[in-house]
Amino acid sequence: MRDGTGRWGRVLVLGGTSELGLAVVDALDLQPRAEVLLAGRDLDALAAAPLPDGVRRTCLHWDATSPGAAAAVTDAATQGGDLDLVVAAAGILGLGAHEDAGLAAEVLMTNTAGLIEALVTLAGRLRSQRHGTVVVLSSVAAVRPRRSNYVYGASKAGLDAFAQGLADDLHSTGVRVLVVRPGFVHGRMTAGLPAAPMATSPEDVGRAVRLALDRGRSTVWVPAALRWVAPVLTFVPRPIWRRLDL
Amino acid sequence: MARLSGWGRTTSSLCDDERVSATDAAAALASAGARGLLVRGSGCSYGDAALNTGGTALTLAPEDPTVHPHGVVVAGAGTSFETLLRTTLPTGWTLPVLPGTRHLTLGGAIAADVHGKNHLQDGSIAAWLDEVVLLDGAGRRWVTRPGDPEFAATVGGMGLTGMILGATLRLLPAEGTQLEVSNQRLPDLDQVMAALDVAARRSRYAVAWVDAFARGRGVVSEARWTGSPCRRSYAPAQHLVAPPVPLSVVTPLTARAFNAAWWRLPGHERTSVTTLTSFFHPLDGVRQWNRLYGPRGFLQYQFVVPDGAAHLVGDALGELTAAGGAPFLGVLKRFGDASEGLLSFPRPGWSLAVDLPPTPGLGAVLDGLDTRVAAAGGAVYLAKDARLSAELFEDMYPRVKEWRDVQTRLDPEGLFRSDLDRRLGLVRRA
């Protein structure tokens, strides 16, 4: 549970090697001996993921693309106590997925189906503990899919819709949901890609999430100006949008 | 479901709140869900001791206390100190331990093994209890007495050994109707501590208010009962109610100004005669004064250190102001012998309590102080705490291992839970 100074005690990151997920953990005000549970496919990579000093690390095996994996990771994560924060960070970009059916399925399994399955299971636990926060890393691509990566856009749109519904469903249960919609973020996922306008860094995302959590927000765009820019993009007429090189 | 919080209002919590009479208590045990059950008194503990998020927070209905002519009161756990005083004072008796508010319940007072301004001479409430009636997690009713392990685990046990149903408390003859209070204004912490040490031995009640912003200058107050032996009714006045405010009125700037003004109050270099309420319960004069800290609430940090580590009092005041905190009126007390309570807070030495609005970086300063308090053999008061770590708790309360043995016996199914217990890992879990 968050302590009297607002510090977090037990944090679960779904997609424990995710750069954004770890940047969120890094930005958080954690209790001195907080426990961070990293859930993911590659236990060696989870064990090597950078975490703040003094934090206790627990690595949990969880394969988002394997249906039914949610139950085991939920049991393991809630065994040691209440969860204060769940960061849904698992995600792959899947460049070229619109021409590769196998890759497209993997993008949807990872970014959407696997996370939704895990969040449905975890939400039940959070609901009964009557406190907790879920941070869902969506994307501006969920609002206006781009021609170059619309499978990714579709996957994030599904996750985003789920997160909004989850927030409403959990309203007044003591559990909160924060939907995070970053624009282009420099990092491993986008390495080698031309930066889009208003690009940010994982650290920017972490800071924005921390601020939004402290202020009790339900949605945060990174950078903040995207909140106004993104809706405008949805009004760009299709003939123009499809010609834009985005 | 109700949204409850501790007196400091830093965390709020959704609990099933139910009010039951002591006779229905056994039925309430059976209805406890997966998140367990906790008996909550008046919610006067500052942090999460009286919260059970997702579970049940039960309140016991008050019962009329009975005063016996030889100076003993038998009362239900849900009875407030205010009701106790109303009953005992007209018969010529007063309560042996008076904490800073009259609103707390007898059950809460036992669960926290509370102390007053007379700890050096009279000890904590444990020293005045003849019997504590407990309904444990297995539904067994115990009448525990000093010397019993169940007594030692329950007094100061933060409500986790079972439901405290009632108690028999020895009283103090009300030697007077009023208090003769002598104040001394002193320019620095060393002099304040020296004067408090003398005052606490000389007078039954002694306390010092220290100004963290000015080298710990302060006012030492000592008091004794005066006037004709008291046989009159107790009717504390209460007319002010603090409004909810959007931002804390306590900031480093206002705290500094208030502390300075307080120090200069003309009454602080005189001897005067005052009432029980204005000496023991000055803050009760404003209802819900805790709202003045705004929606983010405040922490109270209270620790005790042995005489050998008395310098930690000054260090704490210095570090809290240096870190940009706004320590409001520090309260310094002298403590005497510890009670038999296995998780009791008071132990011989110096106790400092400061109210602190949550400012950035405060957590790290307090963590540092916790470490040094623990290393010195001191402790942080659980009834005030909202942020101590589980590791340092173990160091501060070394008798917790004995406590766990008794607690597990009394509550084998682990029915009794609180947020404090979850945070500090008080109860042994399989």
Rounded to two decimals, the ipTM of the complex is 0.91
pLDDT of residue A58: 98
Does one domain contain both B131 and B159?
Answer: yes
- Domain end, chosen from B174, B191, B210, is at B174
Distance from CA of A205 to the nearest CA of B (A): 20
Q: Do A130 and B35 touch (CB under 8 A)?
A: yes
Higher per-residue confidence, A45 vs B247: A45
Containing structural domain, residue B240? 178-393
The answer to the question of residue B347 being in a domain is yes
Q: How far apart are CA A22 and CA A50, in angstroms?
A: 7
pLDDT of residue A244: 77
Residue B12 banded pLDDT, cuts 50, 70, 90: confident
Among the partner residues B35, B53, B299, nearest to A4 by beta-carbon distance: B299
Does one domain contain both B100 and B143?
Answer: yes
Treating both helix axes as pointing N-terminal to C-terminal, what angle do A150-170 and A101-108 enclose, rounded to 10 degrees? 20
Distance from CA of A37 to the nearest CA of B (A): 17
Q: Do B10 and A5 touch (CB under 8 A)?
A: yes
Q: Do B48 and A174 touch (CB under 8 A)?
A: no
The answer to the question of residue B14 being in a domain is no
With residue A178 as reference, give the H or E element that holds it.
strand A175-182
Number of domains chain B is built from: 2
Q: In degrees, to the nearest 5, what angle opens at C-alpha A109 toward C-alphas A24 and A13?
A: 20
Does one domain contain both B273 and B351?
Answer: yes
Interface test with B, best of A1, A2, A5, A173 (most B CBs within 10 A): A5
Does one domain contain both B83 and B137?
Answer: yes
Q: What is the DSSP letter of A179?
A: E
Distance from CA of A15 to the nearest CA of B (A): 26
Burial class (CB in 10 A: 0-12, 13-18, 19+), B238: middle
Please report, rounded to a whole number, the percentage of residues in chain B having pLDDT higher than 70: 99
Find chain A residues with C-beta within 8 A of B358's C-beta: 4-6
Whether residue A150 lies in the annotated active site: no
B367 touches chain A (CB under 8 A): yes
Residue B265 banded pLDDT, cuts 50, 70, 90: confident
CA dihedral of residues B131, B135, B139, B140 (deg, nearest 10) = -10
Q: Do B53 and A130 touch (CB under 8 A)?
A: yes
Among the partner residues B47, B385, B389, nearest to A31 by beta-carbon distance: B389
Among the partner residues B299, B387, B389, nearest to A33 by beta-carbon distance: B389
Does one domain contain both B100 and B190?
Answer: no
pLDDT of residue B268: 80
Does one domain contain both B121 and B204?
Answer: no
Does one domain contain both B376 and B306?
Answer: yes
Does one domain contain both B228 and B330?
Answer: yes
Region B385-411: mean pLDDT is 97
Q: Do B14 and A130 touch (CB under 8 A)?
A: yes
Strand partners, A30: A8
The answer to the question of residue B12 being in a domain is no
B34 touches chain A (CB under 8 A): yes
The single residue of A152, A162, A184, A221 carrying the catalytic annotation is A152
Residue B230 banded pLDDT, cuts 50, 70, 90: low
Which pTM value belongs to this model?
Answer: 0.94
The answer to the question of residue B406 being in a domain is no
Higher per-residue confidence, A15 vs B248: A15
Give the CATH number for residue B277. Answer: 3.40.462
Q: Which two tokens stand for residue A167?
A: 């927030």
User: Residues 60..89 of B with a Cβ closer than 8 Å to A: which?
Assistant: none
The answer to the question of residue B2 being in a domain is no
With a CB cutoff of 8 Å and minimum separation 6, the contacts of A108 are: A151, A154, A155, A158
Residue B175 banded pLDDT, cuts 50, 70, 90: confident
The pLDDT tens digits for B290-317 are 999 998 899 999 999 999 999 999 999 9
- Domain end, chosen from B141, B174, B207, is at B174
The answer to the question of residue B292 being in a domain is yes
Region B366-370: mean pLDDT is 97
Q: How far apart are CA B80 and CA B174, in angstroms?
A: 19
pLDDT of residue B229: 66
Residue contacts between A and B (CB atoms, under 8 Å): 68
The answer to the question of residue B146 being in a domain is yes
The pLDDT tens digits for B128-151 are 999 999 999 999 999 999 999 999
Does one domain contain both B90 and B185?
Answer: no
Q: Is the pLDDT of residue B205 over 80?
A: yes
A173 touches chain B (CB under 8 A): yes
Q: In tens digits, what is the pLDDT along chain A, a chain of 246 residues?
A: 899 999 999 999 999 999 999 999 999 999 988 999 999 999 999 999 999 999 999 999 999 999 999 999 999 999 999 999 999 999 999 999 999 999 999 999 999 999 999 999 999 999 999 999 999 999 999 998 888 889 999 999 999 999 999 999 999 999 999 999 999 999 998 888 888 888 999 999 999 999 999 999 999 999 999 999 988 888 888 888 888 766
pLDDT of residue B184: 94
Does one domain contain both B284 and B377?
Answer: yes
The dihedral sign for the CA sequence A64, A65, A68, A72: negative
Give the CATH number for residue B111. Answer: 3.30.465.10
Interface test with A, best of B46, B301, B422, B427 (most A CBs within 10 A): B422
With a CB cutoff of 8 Å and minimum separation 6, the contacts of A24 are: A13, A87, A89, A135, A137, A205, A206, A209, A210
Does one domain contain both B210 and B136?
Answer: no
The answer to the question of residue B13 being in a domain is no
Residue B338 banded pLDDT, cuts 50, 70, 90: very high
Distance from CA of A195 to the nearest CA of B (A): 35
The pLDDT tens digits for B74-121 are 999 999 999 999 999 999 899 999 999 999 999 999 999 999 999 999
Region B251-280: mean pLDDT is 87
Residue of A nearest to B386 (CA): A4
- For chain B, report the end-to-end CA distance as a whole number of angstroms: 28
Does one domain contain both B170 and B182?
Answer: no
Find chain B residues with C-beta within 8 A of A3's C-beta: 11, 363, 386-387, 423
Please report, rounded to a whole number, the percentage of residues in chain B having pLDDT higher than 90: 72
Q: Is the pLDDT of residue B430 over 80?
A: no
- Domain end, chosen from B174, B209, B241, is at B174
